[in-house]
């Protein structure tokens, strides 16, 4: 179980929200379908109204059709009408912190804004970064001509 002392971020006001969010991401890993990579990833997305949407990675034999846990959670949330988000948590089989892939970084930036990305390691430590830190100079609607 994650606890407050495992936070590696100085923004203490977010501890309670993000500890629960991180635990939901860890739980979501059990729903993953990593048929080919055997790499389980879970994600939990928190809306501004404190609604929670979980996602997991789902693999296809046509690898490019595979979907990451982060995008699963985001697309579920949007399909249910959510439009404003606070944070997304990511838990994976990697022993350290597992950041979102490039495609997920772009989708998070586009659809969620500059939210917090909460990464969980196997020791239940959390690392919190803004998506703008993970994707500086992101392509956006301002770049469309």
Contact 55, 76 (CB under 8 A): yes
Catalytic residue among 4, 13, 70, 133: 70
Does the annotation mark 51 as catalytic? no
Order across the sheet with 41-47: list the strands.
Answer: 52-56, 41-47, 85-92, 116-120, 126-130
Tell me which residues are annotated as active site.
Answer: 70
């Amino acid at each position: 179980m994650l606890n407050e002392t495992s936070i590696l971020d100085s923004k203490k006001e977010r501890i309670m929200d993000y500890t629960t969010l991180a635990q939901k991401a860890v739980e979501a890993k059990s729903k993953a379908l990593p048929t080919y990579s055997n790499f389980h990833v879970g994600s939990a997305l928190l809306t501004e109204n404190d609604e929670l949407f979980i996602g997991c990675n789902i693999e296809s034999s046509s690898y490019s059709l595979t979907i990451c846990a982060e995008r699963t959670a985001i697309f579920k949330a949007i399909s249910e009408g959510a439009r404003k988000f606070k944070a997304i948590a990511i838990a994976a089989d990697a022993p350290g912190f597992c950041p979102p892939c490039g495609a997920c970084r772009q989708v998070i930036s586009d659809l969620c804004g500059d939210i917090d990305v909460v990464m969980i390691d196997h020791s239940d430590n959390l690392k919190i970064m803004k998506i703008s830190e993970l994707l500086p100079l992101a392509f956006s609607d301002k770049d469309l001509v």
